[in-house]
Amino acid sequence: MPKITSEDYQDYVIKDGKFIGAFEEMYRDCSDPWHQDSTQSLAEDIGLLLLSKQHYGRVLDVGCGKGRFTNRLKSVTSASVTALDISPTAIRVAKSRYPDIEFLVADVPPLRFPDESFDLVVSAELLWYVLPHLSELFAEIKRVLKPAGHYLIIQQFYKSEQQKYGKEIMQTPEDLIEMLPFSLMQHVELDRLSNHKLVTLVGKAP
């Protein structure tokens, strides 16, 4: 892959309808990818509100970046939290900021944990970046969840005229929900006419 010389994080991820996936380079070259250090979204707040009504002992955050939302997860759930990201740079930053959370470098899927290890799995703004492997990812999440476990998804969608990547796999929240091998528990959609966000909490289906 040619070296990318840009301070725009989008140049490292999905560009002109093509998946690039240079996440490590992005975290090295861009100061605040996805504005994750500087922005606290309403979708995150709603997701955490849904979780605050439950009890979780062990939580897995898949695609944690530099760990800001992971730390919010720990604060709300008071659980033992493990978090994964593909970028060693992001994980190094997360470890330095939040030493009471277990951060691991990992590409997913698969999830390298025993069956029924977690009460809750979370993926926030991850799914576009593993789009060809969604079925495998969902199967792995289902495998590592305990029988009464939950899966929280926070995900942005785009207007049909704006989406240039992955149309053949997923375009709308309804497309995603149809793929999920889980039982739908709670479902919230935000900003349907602009920056469309889905927040959904699902349970482990039999």
pLDDT digits (tens, 9 = 90+) for 155-200: 999 888 888 999 999 999 999 999 999 999 999 998 776 668 899 9
- CATH among 3.50.40.10, 3.10.20.30, 1.25.40.20, 3.40.50.150 for 35-204: 3.40.50.150
Provide mean pLDDT across the span 17-44: 91
Order of strands, sheet of 58-62, starting from the edge strand that comes earlier in the sequence: 102-105, 80-85, 58-62, 118-124, 145-156, 197-204, 182-190
Specify the amino acid at residue 74. Answer: K
Q: pLDDT tens digits, residue range 126-138?
A: 999 999 999 999 9
At 76 the three-state DSSP class reads helix
35: left (phi over 0), alpha (psi -120 to 50) or beta: left
Yes or no: say if 165 and 18 are a contact pair by the CB < 8 Å rule: yes
Yes or no: say if 53 and 33 are a contact pair by the CB < 8 Å rule: no
Domain positions in the chain are 35-204
- The pLDDT value recorded for residue 1 is 57
